[in-house]
A and B are shown apart, each in its own frame.
Chain A
Amino acid sequence: MSPHDSSRAGSDSVAVAVRNVTKIFPNGDTPTYALRDVSFEARCGELTMIVGPSGCGKTTLLSVICGTLAIDSGSIEVFGKTLGSMSVSEVTGFRSKNVGFIFQQFNLIPTLTVVENVSIPLILQGWNYRKAEEKAAAILQDVGLGERIRSFPKQLSGGQQQRVAISRALVHDPKLIICDEPTASLDAKTGHHALELLKKSACAPDRCVIVVTHDSRIFSFADWIAEMEDGRVVKSCPASEYQHA
C-alpha cells in the first residue's frame, strides 16, 4: 500500500505523515517490534481510524504521532513539522498548542470540577483562570453539560465524563485530536453518542481527528480506516471501501 494513495477522495492537506517508522521495545532478550516500517497518513477534515487486534501497535503509533514516544527510525511530520528535529521541550510545547487528547479512561482529575478539568489545556497555554473557565463553561454548555460544570467527575455518568473529556480535548482549538479507544469504557449506545458528538464538534476542515479503536460498531463514523496487524499497516482505505474481516 502507498501512503500517497491517489484514490483518497474528498480530503484536503496531509496533517500527519508517518514515514517508514520502526519502534522497538527492548524487552530484555526478546525485543518487541511494536512498529515495523510503518507508513501512514491522516488528513485534515477527516476522521481517521486506526483499527486492528490487540497488541498490533495501535497505541504505539498514536504515541509516536503525538511525540510522547521516541522512534527508532523513520520520520514523523505533523502539520509540516518534523518531530525528530525538535527538542523534547519543543515537542511538549507543540503538543500543548496543537494536540487534544481523549483517553479510554477519560483521565479526568477527580479532585477538580468539570470546568476546572476542561480549562487545564488553556491554563497550560498561559490563559488566566477566569477567562479559561469562561471558555470551558461555554464549551461544556455546547455538549449539554452546562448545568454540571461545578460537579466532580465521579458525580457524572461514563457518557457524561466522556463528553467532558471531549470538551477538554477541544477547548484550546487544537488542530490534531487523538483518541485512544474512546468507547471502550462505554456501553454501545453511549459510545455511539460520544462518537456522534466527536464527529459533530471535532471534525472541521482544518482539523485532523485520529481514533484508535477495535470497536467495529463505530467504524461507520470514520472517513478513512487504516488497519494494523503485528506492527504493520496492512490496509488503508476510505471507510466506505473497508471490509471488516
Chain B
Amino acid sequence: MLRIALLMLFRDRAKYMMLIVGLTFCSLLMTQQASVFCGLMLWTSATVRNIGAKVWVFDAKVEQVNEVIPLREIEVTRVRGVPGVEWAVPLYVGIEQARLSDGSFQNVQLVGLDTATFVGRPMEITKGRIEDLRLPDAVIIDQVGIAKFKSKGIAIDIGTTFEINDKAARVVALCHANRSFLGQPYVYTTYDRALQFSKPQRKMMSCVLVEPKPGVSATELADSISKLPGLKAFERDDLFWNTIWWYIKNTGIPISFGTVVLMGVIVGIAIAGQTFYLFILDNLLYLADLKAMGARMPILAAMVFLQSFSVGFVGFGLGVGLTSIFGYKVLKIEQPPFFMPWQVPAFVAVIIILICCFSAAIGLRQIAKLEPAVVFK
C-alpha cells in the first residue's frame, strides 16, 4: 500500500508541487537565516581567531574581545610572574583612522604585535614578508583593506603609503585575515609603532597574550592569572564563546534573525500543513473506501506518514541544497556572513520533521474519525 500512497501523492501534481515549494521555502529560509546568523556571530570573534593566542589577559571589567580597556605595560611583567606562564607579550588593538592619498578616510582595526616575536601575526601572508614589519613605517594590510581602498580608486600594493592618524604608514606585505564584525580592515604593525600611530594615553596596552608552559592547561592558567587584582584572563575558546554570547545578549541580532526563522516555521506549518490537510481531505472518501475494503488504521497511518515525510525529505533537501549554493557563492565574496555548522541543517531537519508529524497527525485525525460506513453515502 506504500507504493499506492506515493502514487497518490506524486500524481496529485498541483498539491505535490505546492507542498515541495512550501517546505523548500521554509527550510531555505531557516537554513539561510541561521547560517547568516552563525556567520555574523563568527565575525564578532574575528580578532580571537586572527590572533589565535591560547590565553588572553584583559582588564578585569572586560567581557569580550572587542571591548578594550587599556592596561599599564607593567602588567606584562606581573603576568610573566604567574607560575605556568611560558611567555607573555603585549598586544595593541584599536580602531584608528587611516587617511588615503586622495584625502578620504577609512577606519581600520590596528593590531600592534610584539616587536620581538610577532605573536598574533597574520595566519596567511599573501604577498611580502612578515619580517619587513621591522622596516620604518611598515604595516601589513588585509584583503578587506585592499578591497575597501580599491573601491575608492586606490590600488594597494607593497610600497603604497597612506597615513594613520597623520603619521606615515607604508605597506610592506599583504595578508588574508578573518573579516571583522564591523568590516574594518585589519592593519598589522609592531606594538611600538602601533603606540606611535594611536593617540597617546596614560595606559596603552590592550591585552597580554600568554602561552602556557608545556603540560599546563590553558584554562587553569587563565584561572590563576585571573587571581591577579585588576586582571581577567580567558582561555581562547572561552573568549570566543564569551564574545559571541555577549553579542547574543546585548544586541537585537538574535531577535531579528529569530523572527525570520520563526516566520520560516510558521510559513512551513501554514503552507505545508494546510496543503497536506487539503490533500487528505480530497482523498478522504478514497481513504474511507480503503478502510471499508479492509485497510487497517496502522496501514493508513503508514501511508499518510510516508506521504508527509516524502515531501518533507524532498523539501528539506532542496532547501538545504539551495542554501549551500547560496553559501558557496557568498563565501567567495565574504559578504554577507555565512557559516553553516552541522547543527543548522540538523535543527532545520528537526523542525521539518515536526511539521511533517504535525501535518500527518491532523490528516490522520480526520481518517480516524471516519466511519467506514460513509463510503455508501
Q: Which residues of A contact B (CB under 8 A)?
A: 59, 62-63, 66, 68-69, 89, 92-97, 99, 101, 103-104, 107, 109, 111-112, 116, 120-121, 123-125, 129, 180
* Contacting residue for A112 out of B4, B375, B376, CB 8 A: B4
Question: Chain A residues near B11 (CB, 8 Å)?
Answer: 111-112
Nearest CB in chain A: distance from B13 CB, A: 9
Quick check: B294 and A95 within 8 Å, CB to CB?
A: yes
Taking the complex as formed, is B295 at the interface, i.e. its CB lies under 8 A from any CB of chain A?
yes
Q: Can you list 9 A-B pairs with a CB-CB distance of less than 8 A? A: A59-B376, A62-B376, A68-B371, A92-B291, A95-B293, A107-B375, A116-B4, A124-B299, A180-B376
* Contacting residue for A109 out of B8, B292, B299, CB 8 A: B8
With A62-B376, A63-B376, A95-B294 as known contacts, state yes or no: A107 contacts B7, CB within 8 Å. no
Which of B4, B12, B299, B377 has the most CB atoms of chain A within a 10 A radius of its CB? B4
With A63-B376, A92-B296 as known contacts, state yes or no: A120 contacts B290, CB within 8 Å. yes
Nearest chain B residue, comparing its CB with the CB of A98: B294
Docked pose: A92 CA to B104 CA in angstroms: 83
With A101-B293, A107-B286, A111-B11 as known contacts, state yes or no: A124 contacts B1, CB within 8 Å. yes
Quick check: B4 and A63 within 8 Å, CB to CB?
A: no
Question: Chain A residues near B299 (CB, 8 Å)?
Answer: 124
CB within 8 Å of A: which of B1-53?
1, 3-4, 7-8, 11-12
Docked pose: A224 CA to B260 CA in angstroms: 69
With A101-B375, A107-B285, A107-B375 as known contacts, state yes or no: A68 contacts B292, CB within 8 Å. yes
Question: Chain B residues near A107 (CB, 8 Å)?
Answer: 285-286, 289, 375
Taking the complex as formed, is B325 at the interface, i.e. its CB lies under 8 A from any CB of chain A?
no
Taking the complex as formed, is B70 at the interface, i.e. its CB lies under 8 A from any CB of chain A?
no
With A68-B371, A68-B373 as known contacts, state yes or no: A89 contacts B296, CB within 8 Å. yes
With A62-B376, A107-B375, A112-B7 as known contacts, state yes or no: A123 contacts B1, CB within 8 Å. yes
Nearest chain B residue, comparing its CB with the CB of A62: B376
With A111-B8, A129-B3 as known contacts, state yes or no: A124 contacts B375, CB within 8 Å. no
Docked pose: A50 CA to B375 CA in angstroms: 18
* Contacting residue for A68 out of B8, B285, B372, CB 8 A: B372
Quick check: A101 and B7 within 8 Å, CB to CB?
A: no
Docked pose: A99 CA to B375 CA in angstroms: 14
Quick check: A93 and B294 within 8 Å, CB to CB?
A: yes
Given A68-B371, A120-B293, output 10 extra A-B contacts at Cβ < 8 Å: A59-B376, A59-B377, A62-B376, A63-B373, A69-B373, A92-B291, A101-B293, A107-B285, A124-B1, A124-B295
Per-position binary interface string of chain B over residues 332-376, scored 1 when its CB falls under 8 Å from any chain A CB and 0 otherwise: 000000000000000000000000000000000000000111011
Quick check: B285 and A112 within 8 Å, CB to CB?
A: no
Shortest Cβ-Cβ A-B pairs, 7 listed = A96-B294, A68-B372, A111-B11, A63-B373, A69-B373, A68-B373, A95-B294
Report the tally of A-B residue pairs with Cβ distances under 8 A.
75
Docked pose: A23 CA to B161 CA in angstroms: 99
Per-position binary interface string of chain B over residues 138-170, scored 1 when its CB falls under 8 Å from any chain A CB and 0 otherwise: 000000000000000000000000000000000
Quick check: B290 and A103 within 8 Å, CB to CB?
A: no
Quick check: B7 and A116 within 8 Å, CB to CB?
A: yes
Quick check: A124 and B3 within 8 Å, CB to CB?
A: no
Docked pose: A123 CA to B4 CA in angstroms: 9
Nearest CB in chain B: distance from A193 CB, A: 23
Docked pose: A89 CA to B295 CA in angstroms: 9
With A69-B371, A120-B290 as known contacts, state yes or no: A96 contacts B7, CB within 8 Å. no
Quick check: B4 and A120 within 8 Å, CB to CB?
A: yes
Question: Chain A residues near B7 (CB, 8 Å)?
Answer: 111-112, 116
Question: Chain A residues near B4 (CB, 8 Å)?
Answer: 112, 116, 120, 123
Per-position binary interface string of chain B over residues 66-91, scored 1 when its CB falls under 8 Å from any chain A CB and 0 otherwise: 00000000000000000000000000
With A69-B371, A107-B285 as known contacts, state yes or no: A112 contacts B292, CB within 8 Å. no
With A96-B295, A111-B8, A116-B4 as known contacts, state yes or no: A124 contacts B290, CB within 8 Å. yes
Question: Chain B residues near A129 (CB, 8 Å)?
Answer: 3
Docked pose: A66 CA to B371 CA in angstroms: 13
Docked pose: A124 CA to B1 CA in angstroms: 7
Docked pose: A97 CA to B295 CA in angstroms: 11
Docked pose: A180 CA to B292 CA in angstroms: 13
With A111-B7, A120-B4, A123-B4 as known contacts, state yes or no: A96 contacts B293, CB within 8 Å. yes
Nearest CB in chain A: distance from B205 CB, A: 74
Question: Chain A residues near B8 (CB, 8 Å)?
Answer: 109, 111-112
Quick check: B292 and A101 within 8 Å, CB to CB?
A: yes
Quick check: B294 and A92 within 8 Å, CB to CB?
A: yes
Docked pose: A125 CA to B376 CA in angstroms: 22
Docked pose: A155 CA to B375 CA in angstroms: 23
Docked pose: A94 CA to B299 CA in angstroms: 16
Quick check: B376 and A103 within 8 Å, CB to CB?
A: yes
Question: Chain B residues near A69 (CB, 8 Å)?
Answer: 371-373
CB within 8 Å of A: which of B87-102?
none
Docked pose: A120 CA to B7 CA in angstroms: 13
Nearest CB in chain A: distance from B370 CB, A: 10
Question: Chain B residues near A124 (CB, 8 Å)?
Answer: 1, 290, 293-295, 299
Nearest chain B residue, comparing its CB with the CB of A100: B293
Nearest CB in chain A: distance from B365 CB, A: 18
Docked pose: A103 CA to B286 CA in angstroms: 12
